[in-house]
Structure 1
Amino acid sequence: MMSDTIDPNRQVSSFVEETLAFAPVFEEFGIDYCCGGDVSLAAACEAADADIDDVRAELRTVQATETDESLDWESLSELTDHIVSTHHDRLREELPALEALVHKVANVHGEDHPELEAVEREFVALAEEMQTHIQEEEDDLFPIARTIDAGESLTDAELQTVHREIEGFEDDHEATAERLDRLSDLTDGYAVPAGACASYRSMLDRLADLERDTHLHVHKENNVLFPAVASAIDADV
């Protein structure tokens, strides 16, 4: 169990690594704990223009009321399986359905809300990039994690490329974060406009949910999986 003191000098990603229930607090204050999670809590609060005392108070409330919920995994294979079943499979189902909804809302409401043209354009690009990205992870990196678990030797090509692949996936995550930020900006933080129909409201709710889930997804890869794979590779070299 974590100490009651929420250390402002502690790396912000480490809070979510230990207790996933902290993630909604960081979402509430607009604090980046995934792609930008390698800075202190104090620095993250400053970057998000969030009052650190308010953030620490909310984190203490979660700490006092929530049971520990951490990302427990006994092997790299178990961790990759968790990511696929919890996040990748969800994206394969949600992205095409949400894209159809975005097209529908843009077609019906685009005249009154011209920003929907840009929302549609950004989401189509985002969906394509995310689907390509998760497939590349499952084809290129996740098998390496399973090879490590099996105690088998990696090929020279795998050893030479694994760090480069991880850097490429991290770059993809940065690009995804930028697209999600643009979608949030275009929709005024997914605010529901006056007179919005049920489909419009559903689109905004699902976009907001996609953003939250992607932050947690990226955190699990950037701050847990990728360092574990890199450490195992370096130890074996």
Structure 2
Amino acid sequence: MIHANQSLGQLATSIPGATGVFHQYKLDFCCGGSRTLAEVAAERGLDATEIITKLSELQQQITTRDWRFAKPAELVHHILERFHAKHREQLPELIRLARRVETVHGDHTECPTGLAEHLSHMQQELESHMMKEEQILFPMLCNGFYPAGPIHVMQHEHLQHGDALGDMLKLAHQLQLPDGACNTWTALYLGLNELKEDLMEHILLENEILFVEPVSQKGSCCGSCQ
């Protein structure tokens, strides 16, 4: 349960994505991380309840629905809202945090040097991938067509995304924080772990469910031969 008497540092390092909310309100969760949300909000004339609401939305539990029994259009909608939109929020904030850590702690032996650049490359590749799904493949799947070529291309790119996650973890020292890591560094690794888990679940849903043609449709006539 989130409450206003929690410190900014505690919230930033326990809720993935909280740093993005704090940046919207220009709240210092790093050097000023020991101060409570209530204290800072009162000082700045901000609505702490509004901020708590946004943080609570980040904590909402993801549905455990069994997507094997959903219609393609339902699963596509879920993927767009739960993963495509989320990745577009996650990566810019993670890149910003990584750049900050590399700038401030560049002389630390465990600094994730090169991580920001790698995340920028991941963002470009993932955006290109998602656009192809949204503009080409997803509309076909929603209409009952399962084109082998485009599906194979997306599956191959999924393998590349998996490799990119592996490289990300190497650069981030397997997300093992050094002793005395600041709030920004902690929030970065928290967010990277969330990105890893989200992207893996995203790929799993597509490879194992969305891209698999229902048995009832295999071998059926498309209508063009009539």
Under TM normalisation by the shorter chain, which class is it? 0.5 to 0.7
Q: Report if the CA contact (8 A) 1:76-1:145 is conserved.
A: yes
Q: Where does residue 71 of structure 1 map in the other structure?
A: 67
Residue 201 in structure 1 maps to residue 197 in structure 2: no
Percent sequence identity over matched residues?
Answer: 25
Structure-to-structure mapping, 1:186-225, within 5 angstroms: 186-225=171-210
Cα-Cα RMSD: 2.3
Q: In structure 2, which of residues 55, 67, 85 is the aligned counterpart of residue 89 of structure 1?
A: 85
Q: Give the 3 Å change call, closer, same or farther, for CA 192–138 of structure 1 in structure 2.
A: same
Q: What letter corresponds to residue 139 of structure 2 in structure 1?
A: P
2:97 to 98, 101, 122: 101
Give 3-state SS (helix, strand or coil) of 1:144's partner.
helix
Cα contact 1:163–1:230 (8 A) shared by 2: no
Q: Deviations over 1:132-182 (max 9, x none)?
A: 11111000101112222xxxxx7xxxx7xx211111111111111111111
TM-score (norm 2): 0.63
Alignment of 1:22-61 (within 5 A): none
CA distance in 2, matches of 1:123, 1:229: 36
Structure 1, residues 22-59: CA drift from partner, whole Å, max 9, x if none?
Answer: xxxxxxxxxxxxxxxxxxxxxxxxxxxxxxxxxxxxxx
Unaligned ranges ≥5, structure 2: 1-63
Report how far residue 124 of structure 1 moved: 1.3
State the partner residue of 2:143. Answer: 147
Choose from 109, 113, 118 the match for 1:117. Answer: 113
Q: Deviations over 1:175-223 (max 9, x none)?
A: 1111111111222320111221100000011001100111111000000
Q: Which amino acid in the other structure matches residue 194 of structure 1?
A: D
- Number of the residue aligned with 2:170: 185
The letter of the residue matching 1:184 is: L
Post-superposition offset of 1:97: 1.7
State the alpha-carbon separation in 1 of the partners of residues 155 and 211 from structure 2: 9
Does structure 1 retain, via aligned residues, the 8 Å contact 2:95–2:120? yes
Point out the structure with the larger helix share.
1
Q: Residue in 2 aligned with 1:26?
A: none
Q: What is the letter of the counterpart of residue 71 of structure 1?
A: W
Aligned length: 159
The secondary structure found in structure 2 opposite 1:123 is helix
> What residue in structure 1 maps to residue 127 of structure 2?
131
Amino acid at match of 1:212: E
TM-score, L = length of structure 1 = 0.61
Residue ranges of structure 1 left out of the alignment (5+ in a row) = 1-67, 149-153
